Amino acid sequence: MTTDATDATGHFADVTDLFDFANSRPHRPEQASGDRRRYRTIWISDVHLGTRGCNADMLIDFLDHVDSDTMYLVGDIIDGWQLKKRFFWPAAHNDVIWRLMKRARRGTRMVYIPGNHDEMFRQFAGLDFGGIKIRRKAVHETADGRRLLVLHGDEFDAITLSHRWLAHVGDAAYTALMTLNRAVSAVRRKFGMPYWSLSKHAKAKVKNAVAFISRFEEIVAEAAGSRGVDGVVCGHIHTAEIREIAGVAYYNDGDWVEGCTALVEHFDGRMEILHWADEIARREAAEAPLALAAA
Average pLDDT over residues 180-194: 63
State the pLDDT at residue 29.
Answer: 87
- Taking the alpha carbons of 224, 229, 235, 239 in that order, is the dihedral positive or negative? positive
Euclidean distance between the first and the last CA atom of the chain, given in angstroms as a whole number: 40
pLDDT, tens digit, 9 for 90 and up, residues 200-256: 555 555 445 556 677 889 999 999 999 999 999 999 999 999 999 999 999 999 999
Burial of 137 (0-12, 13-18, 19+ CB in 10 A): middle
Cα dihedral 153, 154, 158, 164, rounded to 10, equals 170
Is the pTM here over 0.85, yes or no?
no
DSSP annotation of 12 reads B
pLDDT, tens digit, 9 for 90 and up, residues 151-165: 999 988 763 444 443
Strands 109-112 and 37-44: unpaired
Domains of the chain and CATH, by start: 15-294 (3.60.21.10)
pLDDT at 24 exceeding the cut of 80: no
State the pLDDT at residue 2.
Answer: 39
pLDDT, tens digit, 9 for 90 and up, residues 132-142: 999 999 999 99
